[in-house]
Structure 1
């Protein structure tokens, strides 16, 4: 993510598990499906992912989650893209901890929306309280929880996006939290939004999103409040695409859906999307997960 100008980062200690970035531009790719069974499952779920390091002059700062768990008799598909800036400490921590924090909320099964919002808040609070270890950086997030193949909960902060395909039509499930759209809130909190010629709008001239995890130096003017959307998965629901803005900068929602539709293998579909984004000269890290229902 080219959200801030790059800076040097030091070693990491304390509560953060430092994970090595991708080696060079080698892609991180794979696929999977749930091996769990449950009488309440209505649709099978499978996924594929493909992540490619960008050409922005810094190490890979995107991380993903794509896994399945069984809890309280329910089968969960957990998927996420975390697009970091100023280093990989915050996105790598989110990868390792955000879903655990969501599922450990006591009201998750009765009120998933409140649980997700509370977990986003508490996770951001922990990151800020440990800013000496996490450093100045931050991360966007888009998370998707599939419950028993029939219930989908999507949340996001920043501009990583989720798009669902229903009967061949793209529907954006997330909100791109851009500075110009939240200018009034930012200014009310004492910040400002700059738009320099040839550049995108930035909070205090630095960050190109209005909501993110971390970013201690800008937090007085940023929000970590997620937008949350619930969707029932039915016969019209074919797949969901999660991706970082490295893809969405150059490919529209409907174009992405049209590319994925004829490709049954979700890993091949995710790779095809990233390949197309590269062909369209996207320089940012590009991360993509395709979740198929059937």
Structure 2
């Protein structure tokens, strides 16, 4: 019935206010209170598939004790959106609950990814048998980036005009040996790209209970300091990266000073290049 706001509508508005987004076309922006020159903007556009939007975004600054954390993530769901939605609400909380996050952040992030994936698998009855890729970035006090990912959503920074990829695309063809050791196989059939057991086009992901024996949820984790040469960061789902190289993405927004118009420009450019997938993009500007 039109005119009545459902519980899901209220939840969506709460998420949007908090810096989370997921819809057919969603957008938002924010800035650091610690470093006023650090800003972010995000934009999502639904692809041309018959299913609903499966991308989810986190983009917010959060004060933790005496530190400011910038929390940025893109979750690209497949075979349903519930796993990506769960990640949006829980993954960063799980990371920050790790007791050694401040002393051994890379180990803490890896463990939190594992714990979160285990919970998803244990709740497959409610969350479904689908899965999600993830790329997460934690900006600590505007000075250090902690980047982690599973799957093919990607994080790229621009330093002195040069694109530098901080994440790793977990492609089945690159991890064929480890997949086969787990009893799986990689095949281009059916379809036109290598897939785990002929089904999934990424070698690492959250969820996917039916394939989990042959999949990994161990993230690639990297640390990057933010210096005077670091101009901005781009996080995006593969709906962007299928049609743009890292350097093309950087070059297309390097003269756009505002983060939100930059994120919108990238999604529009991906559409102009006939990307048919869901497209989600976050731009974080440092200077």
TM-score, normalising length: structure 1:
0.89
How big is each residue's C-alpha offset from its partner over 1:58-102, in whole Å with a ceiling of 9 and x where there is no partner?
A: 100000000111112011000000000011100000000100000
Task: Please provide the CA RMSD for this pair.
Answer: 1.7
Aligned twin of 1:33: 31
Q: How does 1:80-119 map to 2 (within 5 A)?
A: 80-119=73-112
Contact 1:212 1:223 (8 Å CA) reproduced: yes
CA distance in structure 2 between the aligned counterparts of 1:167 and 1:56, rounded to whole angstroms:
37
Aligned twin of 2:115: 122
The yes-or-no answer on 1:69 pairing with 2:62 is yes
Q: How does 1:137-176 map to 2 (within 5 A)?
A: 137-176=130-169
How big is each residue's C-alpha offset from its partner over 1:95-115, in whole Å with a ceiling of 9 and x where there is no partner?
A: 001000000100001111011
The yes-or-no answer on 1:58 pairing with 2:56 is no
CA distance in structure 2 between the aligned counterparts of 1:268 and 1:68, rounded to whole angstroms:
19
Aligned twin of 1:78: 71
Could you tell me which of 193, 205, 214 is aligned with 2:207?
A: 214
Could you tell me which of 249, 258, 264 is aligned with 1:271?
A: 264
How big is each residue's C-alpha offset from its partner over 1:176-220, in whole Å with a ceiling of 9 and x where there is no partner?
A: 001000000001100011113761111011000000000000000
How big is each residue's C-alpha offset from its partner over 1:149-172, in whole Å with a ceiling of 9 and x where there is no partner?
A: 001000000000000100000001
TM-score, normalising length: structure 2:
0.91
Give, in angstroms, the shift of residue 44 of structure 1.
3.8
Give, in angstroms, the shift of residue 260 of structure 1.
1.3
Q: Which runs of 5+ in 2 are unaligned?
A: 1-10, 14-20
CA distance in structure 1 between the aligned counterparts of 2:283 and 2:167, rounded to whole angstroms:
15
